[in-house]
Chains A and B, each alone.
Chain A
Amino acid sequence: MAKRIEASNVTAYYGAFKAIENINITVEPKTVTALIGPSGCGKSTFLRSINRMHEVLPGARVEGSLTIDDQDIYDRDVDVTAVRRMIGMVFQRPNPFPTMSIYENVVAGLRLNGVRKKSILDEAAEKALRSANLWDEVMDRLGKPGAGLSGGQQQRLCIARTIAVEPQVVLMDEPCSALDPISTLAIEDLMFQLKDKFTIIIVTHNMQQAARVSDRTAFFSIEKTGDPGRLIEYDNTQKIFSNPSQKKTEDYITGRFG
C-alpha cells in the first residue's frame, strides 16, 4: 500500500514569487514525517506540491522532480486526478461537503471513482469511519449532515473521506490547528494507527505534536520575508529534538528563533 516519496530539487512558484527552493526529501513508506518551521516558510506549499494541488492556483507551478515509487508524478503523461487519488489530503480546517450527509461525505471519493454498488459503498464507508475512529459516534446518524458534527468529528470525517479511497500517502496540513486539545489527541492517536497502512506527511506548528507523532522531522526556514523557504534539516525526529546538527534548528525548537 504505502509508497516511498522522493523529492529532488523541488522549487515552487506563485506567479513570479518563488515560495520554496530546492527541497530534497525522501520519505519512507509507513512512516509519519512532520514538516515544521516558522510561518510562511513554505510547508504548505511543499505539501501541496506532493499531490499536485499547488498548481490548482492560477499562476502556480512546480519545478524539480517528485517521484512516488520511482514514478515521476509531474511527468507529462501522468493523469493528475490519478495522482491525487493516490495521495490523499486533509486540510487545515475541516471541510466536509456541506450539502452531503456523513455517509455521502465518506463515499464521495468512491463515487468519483465510479463505484455505484451500494454494498461496496456501505462496506467502504464503515471501514473508513472505523479507521478514522468515528464509527461509534456516527453509526446511528449516517444520514445526517456532515457539517452538523463537532469540529474534531468533522476533521475525522474528512480523514475518513480521504482514506476511503485507499490512497498510498496521506498529507495533512495542520489538521489539528482548528481543534480543541481532546480532539487533537484523538487525531494524533489516529495517526499512529494509520501509519500501519499509509505514508503520512503532516505539517504542524506544534512542536510537541511533531515530537509525539512523527518518525522523521523536516525543518524548513526562510532567511527573511520574500526569500524562498528552504529545507534546513531533515532527520529522525528524536535527533532533531534532542541533538539537531544545525544551529537554526536548535534555535527554532528551543524557541530562540529570531
Chain B
Amino acid sequence: MGETPHRSADAGTGGTRVTEGHERPTGASARVAEAPVSTRTPGGTGLGGGGALPRARAFGAERAFRGLTLAAGTVVLVIIAAIAVFLVAKAVPALRADTENFWTFEGWFPNDAEPKFGIGALAFGTVLTAALALLVAVPVALGIALYLSHYAPRRVGTTLGFLIDLLAAVPSVVFGLWGREIFLRPVHDFSIWLNKYFSWIPLFGGEGPFGKSILLGSLVLAIMVLPIITSLSREVFLQTPTANEEAALALGATRWEMLRTAVLPYGRPGIIAAVMLGLGRALGETIALAMTLGITFNISFNLIENGGNSIAANIANTFGEANETGRGALIASGLVLFAITLIVNITARVIIYRRREFTESAA
C-alpha cells in the first residue's frame, strides 16, 4: 500500500483512458464532428481569406518588449562592472600597503601604521566551517527530503515541509544569538566528551577552553542551510516520473531500492544545485558565525577549542574600527570570498555539465 507518493494517485493508469478515446462508438463521434461545419461562414473574409498578406507592423509590443529587456540586461551589466571597478580600486592600495604576505600571514592588523594582514586563516576558516556544515547538513537534509517526498503520509509531509520552510525564514542573527546563548552549552559539553575520549585525533585535541569553536559555528551553519537543501531536494524528488518509479518497483525493487534506482539518480543535478546553494549560503554567512566562532587568526584543524574565523565574520567584526587601509583590506578579503564562491559554483556546473547527455534526456 502506498509505495509510491500520493501525487501518483491516478498517474499509473491515468494515461490509458485518454488514448483509448477512439474505442467510443463511431456514430456518436461522427455526429459531433459534423456540428462545427454548419456554424462556419462560407466564403467570407475571415482570417484565412484571400487577398494580400498583411504587412509586418513597424512598431509593436514585440519590439518595445525586446528593447526593454535589452535595456534591463545592459543596466545590470553596467552596475556589476561599476561595483567590480570600485572594489578593485579600493582593494589594490590596501594590498600595496600590506607589509606581510597577504596569502600566508596569520593575523589581521590593517589599521596599524605598518599594516599587517593575511587572508590565509580567514579563507581556511571560511572553507572549513562551510564544508563541515555541509557534511552534517547534506545527509540529514536528503534523508528528510526523501522522507517527505516518498514515505510520509501526505498530511505529515505537508506540515513538516512547512515547518522546515519556516526554519529558512529565521534571520541569521537569531541563529547567532541562539548559538552563543543556548546551543553553546551542549556543544561545550560534547566537546569536552570528544576531547576526553578522542583527543588522540588532532581534530579533537587541545587543552581547551572549548565551546566557541569551529564545531559550534559549523553546527549552527548546518542548521541554517538544512532548510534550503531539504526543500529544494524534496521538490526535485517529487518530480521523478511516476513511470520510472513504477518501472523500478515492477522489476522487484523494494522501496529503498526504488529510491536508489529511479529517484536519486534522477534528482542528482537538482541535489547538486541544492547543495551548491547551501554552500553559497554557508560561505557567505556573516553574523551567525561572527557570534559563534572564537575569532582567532590561525590555521588549525582543531574543531573544538575556542577559535575559528571566517572572511565574512571578520568583515562584520572589524569593519567598525577600520581606517582607509583597513577597509581596503576588508574589501580585498571580500573579493577573495567572491572568488571562492565562484570556484565552487563553476565546479558544480562542470559536474552537472559532464552528465548533461543523461540529464537533458531526463528533462
Binding site for B on A (CB under 8 A): 14, 38-40, 44-45, 48, 51, 53, 55-61, 81-85, 88-89, 91-93, 95-101, 108-109, 111-113, 144-145, 147-148, 158, 161-162, 165, 173-174, 177-178, 205, 255, 257-258
Contacts and interface: CB of A to CB of B under 8 A. Distances in A.
B20 A205 contact: yes
Contacts of A91: 243, 246-247, 250
Given A58-B6, A257-B25, A95 B241 contact: yes
A97 B251 CA distance: 12
Contact of B358 (A14, A98, A162, A205): A98
A82 to B, nearest CB: 7
B246 A56 contact: yes
A99 B247 CA distance: 13
A170 to B, nearest CB: 11
B249 interface: yes
Contact of A57 (B8, B17, B20): B8
Nearest to B2: A58
The interface centre, meaning the residue of B4, B251, B262, B265 with most chain A CB atoms within 10 A of its CB, is B251
A202 to B, nearest CB: 14
A158 B246 CA distance: 12
B350 to A, nearest CB: 18
Given A55-B1, A58-B6, A89 B250 contact: yes
Interface of B: 1-4, 6, 8-10, 12-13, 15-17, 19-26, 241, 243-244, 246-254, 257, 261-262, 265-266, 268, 355, 357-359, 361-362
A165 to B, nearest CB: 7
A249 B235 CA distance: 47
B259 to A, nearest CB: 12
Nearest to A109: B251
Given A48-B13, A56-B246, A88 B23 contact: no
Contacts of A165: 251-252
B16 A92 contact: yes
29 contacts: A38-B20, A39-B24, A44-B13, A53-B12, A55-B1, A56-B3, A56-B12, A57-B8, A58-B9, A59-B1, A59-B2, A82-B252, A84-B249, A95-B246, A95-B247, A98-B244, A98-B361, A98-B362, A99-B266, A108-B248, A108-B251, A147-B358, A148-B357, A162-B250, A165-B252, A173-B16, A174-B16, A205-B19, A258-B25
Contacts of B4: 56-57
Given A95-B244, A100-B358, A145-B358, A108 B252 contact: no
A113 B246 contact: no
A45 B246 CA distance: 14
Nearest to A47: B13
Contacts of A53: 12, 246, 249-250
A232 B225 CA distance: 60
B254 A81 contact: yes
A2 B226 CA distance: 51
A109 B12 contact: no
Contacts of B1: 55, 58-61
B253 A112 contact: yes
A120 to B, nearest CB: 17
Given A57-B4, A97-B265, A113-B252, A205 B23 contact: yes
Contacts of B241: 95, 98
B252 A92 contact: no
A145 B361 contact: yes
Contacts of B243: 91, 93, 95
Nearest to A37: B23
Given A39-B17, A85-B252, A97 B247 contact: yes
Contacts of A255: 26
B254 to A, nearest CB: 6
B19 A177 contact: yes
Contacts of A257: 25
Nearest to A258: B25
B357 A144 contact: yes
B103 to A, nearest CB: 41
Contacts of B357: 144-145, 148
B16 A44 contact: yes
Question: Which 5 pairs of residues, A with B, have the shortest CB-CB distance?
Answer: A39-B20, A85-B252, A98-B362, A147-B361, A95-B243
Contacts of A88: 250-251
A162 B95 CA distance: 65
Nearest to B267: A99
B249 A147 contact: no
A40, A58, A255 interface centre (most CB from chain B within 10 Å): A58
A56 B257 CA distance: 15
